Structure 1
Amino acid sequence: MPRDVSLSDVKDLVGQEIGVSDWITVDQTMIDTFADATNDHQFIHTDPERAAAESPFGGTIAHGFLTLSLLSAMNYSAVPRIREQTMGLNYGFDKIRFGSPVRAGRRVRAHFTLTEARFRGASMLMVTYDVMMEIESEKKPALTATWSTIIQFDPKDRPPEA
Structure 2
Amino acid sequence: EQDRVDKFADATNDHQWIHVDVERAKTGPFGATIAHGYLTLSLVSSFMPEIFEVRGFEFAVNYGTNKVRFPSPVKVGQRIRGGAEILSVEEAKGGILSVVRVTVEIEGEDRPACIAEPVSLYFPTK
The answer for unaligned runs of 5 or more in structure 2 is none
Identical pairs, percent: 40
Count of aligned residue pairs for this structure pair? 126
**Cα distance per residue 1:89-146 (max 9 Å; x no partner):** 111111100010000000111101001011124x301111011110011000001011
Output the CA distance in 2 between the equivalents of 1:120 and 1:45.
Answer: 39
SS in 2 for 1:88: strand
Alignment partner, residue 61 of structure 1: 34
Distance 1:40 1:130 in 2: 27
SS state at 1:106 partner: coil
Does residue 48 (structure 1) correspond to residue 22 (structure 2)? The answer is yes
Instruction: Output the aligned Cα RMSD.
Output: 1.2
> CA offset at residue 81 of structure 1?
2.4
Give the alignment's TM-score, normalised by structure 1.
Answer: 0.74
Q: Alpha-carbon deviation of 1:149? A: 0.3
Between Structure 1 and Structure 2, whose CA radius of gyration is higher?
1
Of structures 1 and 2, the one with the larger relative CO (CA 8 A, separation 6+) is: 1
CA distance in 2, matches of 1:60, 1:145: 23
Map 1:30-41 onto structure 2 (within 5 A): 30-41=4-15
Structure 1 residues 1-162: aligned runs within 5 Å: 27-53=1-27, 55-82=28-55, 84-121=56-93, 123-154=94-125
